Amino acid sequence: MLNTQTSKAGRPKSAEKRKQILTSAGELFLTSGFSGCSMEMVAKQSGVSKQTVYSHFNNKEALFLAVIEDKCSEYQLDDRYLEIGDHPLLHVLRERGLQIVKLLHDDQVIAIHRVIIGEVNTNPRVAELFYQAGPKHSLEYLEKCFIKFAKQPITEEFAHKCAATYFSLLQSEFHIKSILGLDFALSNSEQVAHVEFAIQQIEMLLKSKN
């Protein structure tokens, strides 16, 4: 009954081990790259057996995807938010947009972008995996927000266009600067203002459709 055992804090041991594995894997992907990291290394750093790692993740690709998804979830960029009721679209976009900007300021997120760029020529598969779990996930998440919370029904095509535009506006100049190691950080107030500007552009785009 491993899944029902709990720690002193009340968390299932299997969940604790999974989180422990994800944390260790995230660190190793940053220091060793995707190609240089192995499941054996993850097991050793996590303090668990290789069998335990494989019981949670079938292979290294699945583990890498889970690390990226876990980071997105840390910033509440998952479908749980879409299930908490009805809200004005711009309010939702403002909240989610600020979370995306904060995510892009995360040191680990910046570092993994650099790792991916460093490996793309020798291992293009890792770039595809990262895109699926990271940027594409964020785009699809925003697209769902537009479809669910828009006052008037909108097509999936237009929702995708709005999501892609908003995501690009949120990344802006600071994102590429961060990857290049240039001075980029926005203060909290600057982040809020940055999101507000992006919201204004999206509001105009939505009005042009009506």
Statement: the pTM of the whole predicted model exceeds 0.75: yes
Please calculate the CA angle 131-116-32 and round it to the nearest 5 degrees: 130
Q: What is the DSSP letter of 47?
A: T
140 and 195 share one domain: yes
Which residues span the domain enclosing 196?
A: 75-210
* Nearest-10 crossing angle of helices 188-209, 89-105: 140
CATH number for position 59: 1.10.357.10
Point out the domain boundary residue: 15, 50, 74: 74
Please state the length of the chain: 210
Of 45, 74, 103, which closes a domain?
74
What does each C-alpha distance from 74 to 19, 79, 125, 135, 175 come to in angstroms?
A: 12, 12, 25, 15, 19
- Token pair for 25: 């894997």
pLDDT digits (tens, 9 = 90+) for 100-119: 999 999 999 999 999 999 99
Domain co-membership, 70 together with 107: no
* Same domain for 88 and 162: yes
For the stretch 81-96, pLDDT in tens is: 777 778 899 999 999 9
